[in-house]
Amino acid sequence: MDIDKDIDKKDKKRQKETARRQFLTETLPAAASALVLAAGLGAYQRSAQAVPPRAMRPPGALPEKKFQAACLRCGQCVRACHANLLQNNTMEEIAFDQPAEINPNASVKLEPVLRLAECGADIPVGTPYFIPRISPCRLCEDMPCAQACPSGALSKQTLLDEEKKPSIYKATMGLAVLVDHENCIGSQGLRCDVCYRNCPVIDEALTLDMQINRRTGVHTRFIPTVHSKYCTGCGKCERSCILEHPAIKVLPIEQARGELGHHYRLGWEEKEEAGKSLIPEALQLPARRPEELP
Amino acid sequence: MINKRRPGQEAVAKKGWVQSYKWLFLRRISQLGILGLFLAGPLLGIWIIRGTLSASEVLGFLPMTDPLILLQSLAAGHPATSTAVIGALIVVVFYALIGGGIFCAWVCPVNLLTDAAAWLNRRLGLKKGMKLSKNTRYWFMAAILLLSALSGTIVWEWLNPVTMLQRGLLFGMGMGWFLIAAIFVFDAFLLRRGWCGHICPVGAMYSLLSLTSVLRVQAAGREQCTDCMDCFSVCPEPQVIQPALKGDAQSSPVILSKNCLNCGRCIDICPHNVFRFSRRT
């Protein structure tokens, strides 16, 4: 009986010793190696998480941080993109890429819109993007890219209009900004308005603001002016800008927009809301004039 | 005659070339065929399957999702859509039946690369290489899920050579060739079967599905074994053969290890037809 117990004890001890050794020689190194690999990966992905300003996400994309958690990197949106599938170029598309009057018989190769980021690009690998200056979003009404997305990283449901129906015109892929007044032809007082004519939401997202041309004194400067409420960020304005480098560019919204101090109140808006002036009576301040010279 | 650098000579002599390379040949057809199905859409306009190995749609209605990518997305905090979940379930049930290793050996395009590296390693007669536990990949998989939760992004897709290689061939490789070359060099010269057998967390995920798989390789004729060691030379996970082939009479001749890929190479290479595909018993 005692001997049995003794053997039992020894067996247990040996088992314990084996388990300990196994932990030290197998489990621990395996876990440590995995940790080293994971740490390296963590640092690498951290340094590359931002998307460069020239690349835009497709319509209906979640905000960037959520997008990177959701996108499965499968490329089904790229495959669904109508502009990518376009085989017989319509006249409109040809005119868009190359004016037909230049060469009506030219076979025009359309640049695909959506692409997947390749390894080594400054966009998270395998995620979809388009570069407006190369090929802008064509704003398909049925949003095939968002429809093809299996993960919800792109979703039509984020683009509901007033009737709660998905509408491509609710897209906010970015915001166009006239970044270079000095080189914009229209701003110089010359005739251009190409960006304005190409805007799919013409007169709402992009208007021409008329200003006096002080250089000549008699002419008008037509300043392309973007209205964030309507701009989808499709990039047709940037694509069509006739300059060597576009004066109007689509930027990520957070980079394009300023933000008013939250304590600010605009007097005329407050007045309209209240129906009357918020100040009981207009202040009468004494007019300050330079003292009359003797 | 034992030649560890050129295993299979005895099998070819005894069974003929076809029987000695049958499963390998079928496997290559499967790997390239699946790649071809993905390529048929963009190249020929025949859309049988759309997407990549990370997520796809077959014939316009059947979704498939890589379970590890979906788990990372969940860990990163994105609520999964029903499409993604159904896709992952289809994949999980399929591989849980026929063995997760089937993905590694019959589907994954990286296997073409690492098999070539293993061939070179064997031909040069190199030693196994650096020391790295076979369990590293399981820990690494866990670490990746943790890292996804911490960073809020699908972490492994930053480096995953499985999807990187396939996506590269379908959409553009970019600098991906460097990564692919690095894996080849690592496997050929630094650690035999290093990537797939030690590091790849995608393989780890699929191997876990092998725990239940019905389809298994069995050393049915193990008494015929002449210890020529050819099966050990070609097996991507040689440690799995030992218990089934060399176990005592009471032990099961079925290869039960989750690390067995069901690649069937041992069936080909054995001159005495010791191995065959069978059910788990």
Query: For the segment A100-150, what is each residue's pLDDT rounded down to a tens digit?
Result: 444 555 555 567 889 898 888 888 889 999 999 888 998 988 899 999 999
Is the minimum CB–CB distance between A71 and chain B shorter than 8 Å?
yes
| Angle between helices B82-98 and B201-209 in degrees, nearest 10 | 70
Instruction: For residue B147, give the nearest of A38, A70, A125 by CB distance.
Output: A38
Average pLDDT over every residue of B30-49? 90
Interval B197-252: pLDDT, tens: 999 999 999 999 888 888 989 888 888 888 888 888 889 998 888 888 887 778 88
Q: Which of A35-39, A90-94, A177-181, A221-225 has the lowest mean pLDDT?
A: A90-94
Quick check: A98 pLDDT over 50? no
Instruction: For residue A119, give the nearest of B144, B151, B176 by CB distance.
Output: B176
CB A146 within 8 A of CB A77: yes
Round the average pLDDT of chain B to a whole number and report it: 89
Q: Which residues contact A35 (CB under 8 A, 6 or more apart)?
A: B139, B143
Quick check: A154 pLDDT over 90? yes
Query: CA of A32: which chain B residue's CA is closest?
Result: B136
Asked if B176 and A120 come within 8 Å (Cβ–Cβ), the reply is yes
Backbone angles phi, psi at A206, to 5 degrees: -135, 120
Interval B1-27: pLDDT, tens: 457 778 888 888 888 888 889 999 999
Quick check: A294 pLDDT over 70? no
Q: Which of A175-179, A290-294, B43-47, B216-220 has the lowest mean pLDDT?
A: A290-294
Chain B residue numbers with beta carbons less than 8 Å from the beta carbon of A126 are: 52, 54, 157, 163-164, 167
Average pLDDT over every residue of A240-259? 91
CA distance A49 to B4: 47
Asked if B143 and A152 come within 8 Å (Cβ–Cβ), the reply is no
pLDDT at B228: 87
Count CA within 13 A, CB hemisphere, residue A30.
20
Asked if B80 and A151 come within 8 Å (Cβ–Cβ), the reply is yes
Residue whose token pair is 């911490």: B150
Quick check: B68 pLDDT over 60? yes
Choose from A72, A125, A130 for mutation: most chain B CBs within 10 A.
Answer: A72
Instruction: For residue A45, give the nearest of B56, B158, B179 by CB distance.
Output: B158
SS3 call for A260: coil
Instruction: For residue B57, give the nearest of A48, A76, A124 by CB distance.
Output: A76
Q: Please, is A103 exposed, middle or buried when counting C-beta atoms within 10 Å of its C-beta (0-12, 13-18, 19+)?
A: exposed
Choose from B140, B180, B200, B202 for mutation: most chain A CBs within 10 A.
Answer: B140
Average pLDDT over every residue of B77-90? 92
Asked if A150 and B151 come within 8 Å (Cβ–Cβ), the reply is no
Interface list for B 144-203 with A (CB within 8 A): 144, 146-148, 150-159, 163-164, 167-168, 170-176, 178-179, 199
Is the minimum CB–CB distance between A74 and chain B shorter than 8 Å?
yes
Q: Which residues contact B54 (CB under 8 A, 6 or more apart)?
A: A72, A73, A74, A126, B65, B66, B69, B157, B163, B167
Interval A176-191: pLDDT, tens: 999 999 999 999 999 8
Average pLDDT over every residue of A250-278? 88
Classify the complex by whether its ipTM is higher than 0.90, answering yes or no: no
Interval A186-214: pLDDT, tens: 999 998 999 999 999 999 999 999 999 98
Q: Which long-range contacts (CB under 8 A, 24 or more apart) does A130-134 make?
A: A130/A55, A130/A56, A130/A58, A130/A235, A131/A54, A131/A55, A131/A56, A132/A54, A132/A56, A132/A174, A132/A234, A132/A235, A132/A236, A132/A238, A132/A239, A132/A249, A132/A250, A133/A54, A133/A235, A133/A238, A133/A239, A133/A246, A133/A249, A134/A239
Looking at CA atoms only, how far is residue A129 from chain B in angstroms?
13
Interface list for A 267-286 with B (CB within 8 A): none
Interval A30-71: pLDDT, tens: 787 778 787 777 777 766 666 677 789 999 999 888 999 999
Instruction: For residue A126, give the nearest of B87, B132, B167 by CB distance.
Output: B167
CA distance B244 to A110: 59
Query: CA of B87: which chain A residue's CA is closest?
Result: A150
pLDDT above 70 covers a percentage of chain B that reads 99
Asked if A42 and B170 come within 8 Å (Cβ–Cβ), the reply is no
Choose from A24, A45, A64, A73 for mutation: most chain B CBs within 10 A.
Answer: A73
**A289 or A248, greater pLDDT:** A248
For residue B81, give the amino acid letter. Answer: T
* Apex B196 CA angle, B191 and B197, nearest 5: 65
pLDDT at A90: 46
Quick check: B145 pLDDT over 60? yes
Q: pTM for the complete prediction?
A: 0.83
Round the average pLDDT of chain A to a whole number and report it: 83
Residue whose token pair is 């960037």: A64
CA distance A272 to A276: 7
Nearest alpha carbon to residue B244 among B261, B211, B277, B220: B220
pLDDT at B114: 93
Q: Which of B93-107, B119-133, B158-172 has the lowest mean pLDDT?
A: B119-133
Chain B residue numbers with beta carbons less than 8 Å from the beta carbon of A88 are: none
For residue A126, give the amino acid letter. Answer: G
Chain A residue numbers with beta carbons less than 8 Å from the beta carbon of B83 are: 150-151
pLDDT bin (cut points 50, 70, 90) of residue B56 is: very high
Asked if A119 and B174 come within 8 Å (Cβ–Cβ), the reply is yes
pLDDT bin (cut points 50, 70, 90) of residue A247 is: very high
CB B172 within 8 A of CB A123: no
pLDDT at A47: 62
Q: In which element (H, E) is residue A66 found? A: helix A64-70
Residue A188 neighbours by CB distance under 10 Å: 14
Is the minimum CB–CB distance between A48 and chain B shorter than 8 Å?
yes
Count CA within 13 A, CB hemisphere, residue B173.
12
Is the minimum CB–CB distance between B207 and chain A shorter than 8 Å?
no
Quick check: B39 pLDDT over 60? yes
Backbone angles phi, psi at B175, to 5 degrees: -85, 5
The structure tokens listed for B140 are 């690494």
The 3-state secondary structure of chain B, one letter per residue: CCCCCCCCHHHHHHHCHHHHHHHHHHHHHHHHHHHHHHHHHHHHCCCCEEEECCEEEECCCEEEECHHHHHHHHHCCCCCCHHHHHHHHHHHHHHHHHCCHHHHHHHCCHHHHHHHHHHHHHHCCCCCECCCCCCHHHHHHHHHHHHHHHHCCCHHHHCCHHHHHHHHHHHCCECHHHHHHHHHHHHHHHECCHHHHHHCHHHHHHHHHHHHCCEEEECCCHHHCCCCCHHHHHCCCHHHHHHHHHCCCCCCCECCCCCCCCCCHHHHHCCCCCCEEEECC
Quick check: B139 pLDDT over 50? yes
Interval B167-207: pLDDT, tens: 998 888 888 888 899 999 988 888 889 899 999 999 999 99
Average pLDDT over every residue of A23-32? 77
pLDDT at B136: 87
Specify the length of chain B in residues: 281
CA distance B88 to B90: 5
